[in-house]
Amino acid sequence: MESAESVGTRTRTNLWQRLLRRHLITVATASLLVLAIAMNAILQSDFFTPSVIRSNLTSFVPLVVAAVAQTIVILAGGIDLSLGVIITLVDVVVVRLIGTSSSPTVLALCLGAGLAVGALAGLVNGIAVAVIRLQPIVATFATSFIWSGLSLLVMPRPGGQVPTFFYRGYRQVFLGIPVAAWIIAGVLVLWLIIKRLPLGRYIYAVGGNQQAAYATGINESGVKIASYVLCGVFAAIAGLCIVADTATGDPFVGAPFTLTSITAVVIGGTRLTGGVGDAGNSVIGAIILGLVTNIIFFANVPSFYQEFIFGVIVVAALAGAGMLTTRRRSS
């Protein structure tokens, strides 16, 4: 007969095992983050200095926000292959509208216009997917050409400028914390608010089982449209961050963000079929990718290997997620 002590020990062990299985993806993602930080620290002796931390966060912000944008539509059972081009469109529209003005009022209006452009692009994507009933990959791949053409129409070549106080402010510190970190925190707070609203629950429900969601009275078309609009708004925020970072417009600047945002989502453990995942983990995934880019640079790895490495990361993350799902089903 087992003693009370042995029973208690086994119970605690089983509890820890259940907690580990439940949060395995989060633990794995956090472990990758620690590994990436350690490798950066080895390659960069000044990695933990305030100036380097601020510089890294400043360059990571656009991908972090783009990853949150992509997560929202993927959770709803979609995907956005036009996300990078929406970022580009917002970038060039805002810079073109600013022109040579240095007025804070004009800047605020232009930033608002950029958010509206992102929301409108997301609305078009949502209608194409939820109303016209095109497959998300097909719909957003098609609209990406529209947004790309508009970007080139607005600004055929890189150029323009923004007020000095705007891009300098983006690199500043507020209350001892880099502005970039405040932006990341703000985006996470927005996500937490969305997640706790009925819309957030509907996004998970539609992505998890569209037929069941419809049977319970959820307007699945409306939820999908809303998810794409939110994606467009967050993509616009990423575009505004790029404007602040580069202080100029570029009709090609957003191209890499489509692949990298999906990669960050996969690293964060969000299921590409929808319904399972969290944008918070995607933020960690985006930071990991930023750190990997640093590793490639400081290890003197040729830059053309970057996409190959990202591809390997995606395949490894998908394989790991698939093995985890299979293990859960078998148990």
pLDDT value, residue 212: 86
Q: Could you tell me the domains of the chain?
A: 47-330 (1.10.3470)
Q: What is the pLDDT of residue 28?
A: 78
- In tens, the pLDDT along 164-185 reads 888 888 999 889 899 999 999 9
Residue at 146: amino acid letter: I
DSSP state of 331: -
The H or E element containing residue 124 is: helix 104-130
d(CA 186, CA 131): 32
Per residue, the 3-state secondary structure of 148-196, as one string, reads HHHHHHHCCCCECCCCHHHHHHHCCEECCEEHHHHHHHHHHHHHHHHHH
Whether the pLDDT of residue 188 is over 90: the answer is yes
CA 46 to CA 50: how far, in whole Å?
9
For residues 142 and 306, which has the higher predicted lDDT (pLDDT)?
Answer: 142
**d(C-alpha 163, C-alpha 274), whole Å:** 41
* CB-neighbour burial class of residue 16 (10 A; exposed 0-12, middle 13-18, buried 19+): exposed
Max distance between CA atoms of the chain, in angstroms, equals: 84
The tokens for 79 are 């995907």
pLDDT surpassing 70 at residue 327: no
Contact (Cβ atoms closer than 8 angstroms) between residue 182 and residue 57? no
Percent of the chain's residues with pLDDT above 90: 60
pLDDT tens figures, 239-271: 999 999 999 999 999 999 998 999 899 888 898
Q: How far apart are CA 262 and CA 69, in angstroms?
A: 10
Using a 10 angstrom Cβ sphere, with 0-12 exposed, 13-18 middle and 19 or more buried, the burial of residue 37 is middle
User: Out of 73-77, 128-132, 294-298, 311-315, which region has the weakest mean confidence (pLDDT)?
Assistant: 311-315
% of the chain surpassing 70 pLDDT: 88
**Structure token digits, residue 163:** 């007020």
